Each structure stands twice: as C-alpha cells, then as structure tokens.
Amino acid sequence: MENGMKVVKPLDDEKKQTESGQEEQTGYIRMKKFKFVMLLFFVIFITAGITTAAFAFGDQKAVNVTTVNRPEFDKLYKAYDSIQKKYYTKVKQKTLVDGAINGMVESLNDPYSDYMSKTEASDFNNTISSSFEGIGAEVEEKDGYIVIVSPIKGSPAEKAGLKPNDKILAVDGKSVHGMSANEAVMLIRGKKGTKVTLTIQHVGSKDETKVTLTRDTIPVNTVYAKMLKNGVAHIQITTFSDGTYKEFKAAVENMKKQGMKSMIVDVRQDPGGLLDQAIKIANMFVPEGRTILQTEDRNGSREKYVAESGTKITVPAVVMIDGGSASASEILAAALNESAGIPLVGEKSYGKGTVQSAEKFNDGSILKFTVQKWLTPNGSWIHKKGIEPDEKVSLPDYAKLPVIGTDAELKLYSVSEDVKTAEKMLKALGYNPGRVDGYFDWNTKTAVEAFQMHEKMQPTGIINGDTATKLMSEISNLITRHDTQLKKAEEVVQKEK
C-alpha cells in the first residue's frame, strides 16, 4: 500500500493474454482477473411456491439451491409469467431473459455497457485477437446514435474518408438509431469483397450522404515504422491488439539499426484496444517506480500501476494525438507525458476514461458494464474532456472535409453540399473548379475531366462512385504528404535533444 493506495506492477511479458489483469477491447477495457469464474448462468424454477435456482460456476455442474426471497424481483417474475401464459403467440424463454438483461443494461444509459449474444461476443473477441473482415472503423453508441470513434489505418473506412464523430444513420437502408454498437457492427461487418452502404451524417452537418464501401480483411499489423530525416523515427500504433507490444519492440530495434536519434510515437486515429499492451509500451519509457495509470472504483478506492525496472528508451521522444486517439491511446499518451516528461503534439484526444468488466455466460453471451474510472498518473479524469496537447497543431482544412456520397451522381447543374465538398477537394488537389459554391457549373465539369484524365479514368466530367472514391483517396494521400502535425512533431523532438 502507498498512501492508502494499492500499487500494482505491470504484467510480465511472459504471461499469456488471458492471464493479464486488465485489458481493453477496441475502445473499452475488460477485467479478467478471475477468468470469468463468476456467475455464468441461472435458470429460475418455481415449484410449490418455493423459488430455487440452478447455478453453474466455471466447469462445475449446476446444483439446485434455495434463494433468498427478493421482493424487488416480484414485478419482473409477474411480467415474465404473464407474457408466457397470456401473450397471443408463444415466446421463447431465451428471448424474454435476453430482453430483460438488455433492458437493465440500456437503463444505465452508458454507451460502454452492453449485453452481447454468442455471435456478437465472438465478433467482440475476434476484433482484438486476429484479423477480421469488415470496413475497419471503431464505433460507439452515443445519445442513441452510432458514432465513429476512429477509422483504422489502411481500412476501407479510412479510404472512404470517414472521420471521427461521423454518425452512421443507416446500414443498407436499415436505420441503426437506438441500436447498441454491437448490433450495428453485426450489420456493418461481412465477407471480404461484399459491399455495404452506409448513410452518413458528417459532424456539424445536417445533410445525409450515402457511402458504399467494399468490405476487406482488416490487417493484424498494428505498428508501422519508418525513418525520417536527421535520425527521427516515426512509429505509428493504429490499435492495441494481441501483438502490439512485440511489434513495437521490434520496430524500435529496427529503427535503432537504422540510426535512430529520436522518436515520434504516433497514436492519431488509434481507437484503443488491449490495456495490457498500452501498459507494457508505457513501461519502456516511464522510469521505474513512477505511475503509469490509476483506477478508481465506486467507493473512491484507487489502484496505481507503476513502471517496473528494465531497459528504457532514452532518446528524445514526442507523442502525437488527435480526436481519434481514444482509451488505451490516451492511457499511453498521458503516461508518457506526465511520468516521462514527453511532450504531446497535435489536437485534443477523444476522452474515454472508464473501465469495463466482462462476464461470460454458459451460452456464450457476455455482459459488459462499467466498473471503474481510469485516471492519468497525476489523477486527472479525462472522460468526455480528452487530453490537450502541449503543442496544438491542426491539419489543413481539406483534411476535415466530409465524405462524398458514392451512390449519388454529381453532374452539370447539380446543386448540393456534396458538390461543394468535391469542389474543395479539386481545388486542394490543384484543379480549378471555379467558384466553390455547391453549384456544378462548366468550370467544375472541366476540373473533373482534368482530374479523371490525370488518374487515367474516362473523362466524363461526372462524379459517380469511382470518381468520388478516387477523389477522397487522393485527398488522403495529400494529407499524408503535407502532414503539418508530423512536421511540427519533428521540430519539437529535435529541440528535445
């Protein structure tokens, strides 16, 4: 104990993932300290006025025990019995039980608490442990809407220009309003090569746009490294998955061989992932004994996670963050900033500061609910606030342009917000669309034709699915070539020497 606070050291490298104390799954954290040996399943039996329940713990067989009278459940039992006996069609017991659990979870009004069916739970686990097929975007439920937290690097979602805080209103024409994030993900996911059409409302806009994406395999690789000028290594973490820590270590060693003199750790657009991976990477920078993370339960009791001994990275470093940096990304950024003195560059992070516990039932379903807050080393709770960078730098205005609907056809005399977005993109790419006013005139048509010829496409002068997709792809490439945040990070890290 330290000042009445429990101190916890990071996990050993040799421990398996299932043995890690806490972990975060794509935007939320799972507690697995007891390997799901808590209550897994129960069936209510009412016999001769005596209520009994069959419980199963771990691999033990269910046994009948007499329960304590719980009058608060009388109304629930009565509603269940009435529906079973009097509803005009038969209803499966599982449907009613699942519905009751869903109702309890929804009453929490917490986007990070959820009840998942067996299929949903399987997808929940596969997202972190292996590659999966889909569009590659982390989403959450927020005020009844499905909102994008961050697209994954190189994914169809990123290539289509989807941005953090964009709302997904419908999937293939089916409204997802009021759905949980997992229910929406089940609709969005699908086999590689198949298409899905999303109705998107860009942040700050009232207009709706339909975007058709081709699903793909979302790669397992989560760390990308390259050497910039003057020995500056740029190491990007796109998500925190099973092998991220090992990938990061390998990337650091590779950069050392190439003459690394300083380092930029880039967690922009990183929606989070496994907590233990973030802790292990933080431990490579934070001096022994200093705090990496704190957690606080409902009673105000705190636990500290402190850095262990070992070889530390001592070259000058900076961390890059933005509005798509969430959860585990924020944990890493805060730890390196507050406990290792490493400056942050970019824009304010997302702001996700809660810890979830996941309990698995015998039928494969999972109940996930918030049990703790996580705090920065200095004790700050960044939930819904985010982390402010030391050096605030925005990307060019064209980096914030919304997506263009790939289902619509923009042509001469069209008038819409999509036309205005396309005009801004053409102008940023060096083509002259004339006035940027949302009106598709002859100047706009000429600019579109010039763009199509340059990209070896048929010069129709019409913006349809292929041209819209190519426009957004070229804007993405332009952002990469003129990355103002990365340039600032290079300046800062070289001053740190």
Question: Quick check: is 308 in a domain?
Answer: yes
181 in a structural domain: yes
> Tokens standing for 202?
């860009």
Which position among 113, 327, 339, 365 bears the catalytic label?
A: 327
- Give yes or no: residues 333 and 256 share one domain: yes
Same domain, 340 and 227: yes
Out of 188, 218, 248, a domain closes at: 218
Task: For residue 31, tell me if it sits in a domain.
Answer: no
How far, in Å, CA of 386 to CA of 391, rounded? Answer: 15
- Count of residues making up the chain: 497
CA–CA gap between residue 342 and residue 389 (Å, rounded): 11
Dihedral angle sign, alpha carbons of residues 385, 390, 391, 395: negative
C-alpha triplet 144, 145, 151: angle, nearest 5°: 145
Q: Are residues 281 and 177 in the same domain?
A: no
Are 231 and 202 part of one and the same domain? no
User: CA torsion sign, 261 to 264 to 265 to 270?
Assistant: negative
195-210 confidence digits (pLDDT tens): 999 999 987 778 888 9
Bridge-based pairing of strands 344-346 and 317-321 is parallel
Q: Residue 254 and residue 393: Cα distance in Å, rounded?
A: 29
Residue 467 belongs to a domain = yes
Q: How far apart (Å, rounded) are the C-alpha atoms in residues 492 and 478?
A: 23
pLDDT on residue 132: 66
Domain contains 491: no
What's the rounded Cα separation, in Å, for the pair 315 and 230? 13
Structural domain including 70 reads 39-106
Q: How far apart are CA 222 and CA 13, in angstroms?
A: 18
> 140 and 234 share a domain?
no
* 140 belongs to the catalytic site: no
Q: Secondary structure of the chain in the HEC alphabet? A: CECCEEEECCCCCCCCHHHCCEEEECCEEEECCCCCCCEEEEEEEEECCEEEEEEEECCCCCEEEECCCCHHHHHHHHHHHHHHHHCCCCCCHHHHHHHHHHHHHHCCCCCCCEEECHHHHHHHHHHHHCCEEECCEEEEEECCEEEEEEECCCCHHHHCCCCCCCEEEEECCEECCCCCHHHHHHHHCCCCCCEEEEEEECCCCCCCEEEEEECEEECCCCEEEEECHHHEEEEEECCECCCHHHHHHHHHHHHHHCCCCEEEEECCCCCCECHHHHHHHHHCCCCCCCEEEEEECCCCCEEEEECCCCCCCCCCEEEEECCCCCCHHHHHHHHHHHHHCCCEEECCCCCCCEEEEEEECCCCCEEEEEEEEEECCCCCCCCCCCCCCCEECCCCHHHHCCCCCCCCCECCCCECHHHHHHHHHHHHCCCCCCCCCCECCHHHHHHHHHHHHHCCCCCCCCECHHHHHHHHHHHHHHHHHCCHHHHHHHHHHHHCC
How many domains does one find in the chain? 4
Low-confidence ranges of the chain (pLDDT < 70): 1-68, 123-132, 219-220, 497
308 a catalytic residue: no
**Residue 141 and residue 198 share a domain:** yes
Which of 165, 185, 218 is where one domain is finished? 218
CA distance 342 to 299: 32
Give yes or no: residues 240 and 141 share one domain: no
Task: Flag whether 121 is in a domain.
Answer: no
> What per-residue confidence (pLDDT) applies to 176?
93
Same domain, 330 and 301: yes
233 and 340 part of one domain:
yes
What pTM does this model have?
0.74
Inside any domain, residue 461: yes
Boundary-marking domain end, from 191, 218, 245: 218
Same-domain pairing of 390 and 243:
yes
Q: Does residue 233 share a domain with residue 197?
A: no
Residue 400 to residue 351: CA distance in whole angstroms: 19
Catalytic residue among 352, 368, 445, 488: 352
Judge whether 115 and 100 are in contact, CB under 8 Å: no
Confidence (pLDDT) at 406: 78
Same domain, 455 and 412: yes
Please tell me the predicted confidence (pLDDT) of residue 293.
97
> 197 pairs with which residues across the strands?
212
Active site residue 106: no
Of the listed 120, 338, 423, 490, which one is catalytic? 338
Residue 270's region, left for phi above 0, alpha for psi from -120 to 50, else beta, is beta
In sign, the C-alpha dihedral spanning 116, 118, 122, 123 is negative
Residue 441: give its domain's CATH number. Answer: 1.10.101.10
Q: Return the CATH number at 337.
A: 3.90.226.10
Is the residue at 22 inside a domain?
no
CATH number, domain containing residue 170 = 2.30.42.10
